[in-house]
Amino acid sequence: MRRVFALLISLGLILFFVNSLSILPEYGNVELSKVSNAYINKSVNGNNEKVKFGESKDLEDGAANVVTSIVVDYRSFDTLGEVTVLFTSALGVGLILHGFKRKTYGRLPNFILRVSVGILLPLILLFGVYVFVHGHLTPGGGFPGGTIIAAGILLLYLSNEEFDLSKTSKFVESYAGSLYIVVGLVGLAIGGVFLINFLPTGVVGDLFSAGIVPIVYILIGFKVGAELSGVIADLYREG
């Protein structure tokens, strides 16, 4: 009986969504919205020239990756909130699992694991750093970069019983997050608006371009890396 009822509800829901297809644009045939157009042409504050890679200079936003320009510049306030969600859940995992001890097996982990972690770890960390440093130019950014770093930390946890990073990760998390807000407050002090891009934006496509975007993404990278490592450390315990 319960299953029939559930089936009816889910079917009704699917029907409701299918109904909405008549008002949605056809797949692959979407028109760019006015907001997205402005983001792509970087013309929110009225720039009418087309953006060209490697040539356009001193635009309102200098990130070559348009998604990054939205995430870290046009809608940076959302990203601050997003970082806070992750921060809250990392904190919550710590609070909820408070009092659990680290899981130990009392023997050395596998030889292959230990040696390969030694080889892989620098590469993984380097790749993570690359991803978040180049967040404004290539796909990626602080969130994927931080996640890759956290994956490296997970390997460390697996290969070394004594390894513990929870204190350090708390400090990194705390200071990276605070610095993000401080960057915003500096913008408030200089430009009169919270989170304003107060540095020169340079040429589209250069590594040193886009003003505060790379700085913020590096901070996010550290913060996400530290938070996810913290979550891993907290979940890798037993009562």
**Positions in 217-236 near another protein (CB under 8 A):** 231, 234-235
- 39 by DSSP, 3-state: which? helix
102 binds another protein (CB under 8 A): no
Report the nearest approach of another protein to the CB of residue 123 (Å). Answer: 24
Report the nearest approach of another protein to the CB of residue 176 (Å). Answer: 8
Distance of CA 187 to CAs 133, 178, 194, 212, Å?
A: 21, 14, 6, 10
Report the nearest approach of another protein to the CB of residue 142 (Å). Answer: 10
Cα 145 from Cα 195, distance rounded (Å): 22
48 binds another protein (CB under 8 A): no
Cβ within 8 Å of residue 39, ≥6 positions away: 66, 69, 70, 74
107 binds another protein (CB under 8 A): no
Q: Given candidates 49, 57, 58, 96, which one binds another protein under the rule CB under 8 A?
A: 96
Nearer to another protein, 117 or 180 (CB): 180
98 binds another protein (CB under 8 A): yes
178 binds another protein (CB under 8 A): yes
Report the nearest approach of another protein to the CB of residue 148 (Å). Answer: 14
CA angle 69-142-223, nearest 5°? 130
User: According to CB under 8 A, which residues from 5 to 44 bind another protein?
Assistant: 5-7, 9-11, 13-14, 16-18, 20-21, 23-25, 27-30, 32-36, 38-41, 44
190 binds another protein (CB under 8 A): no
Cα 14 from Cα 6, distance rounded (Å): 12
Nearer to another protein, 84 or 116 (CB): 84
User: Distance of alpha carbon 141 from its chain centroid, rounded?
Assistant: 6
Cα 142 from Cα 81, distance rounded (Å): 14
- Which is it for the CA torsion 209, 212, 216, 219, positive or negative? positive
Nearer to another protein, 40 or 121 (CB): 40
Report the nearest approach of another protein to the CB of residue 232 (Å). Answer: 10
For the chain, how many residues are written?
239
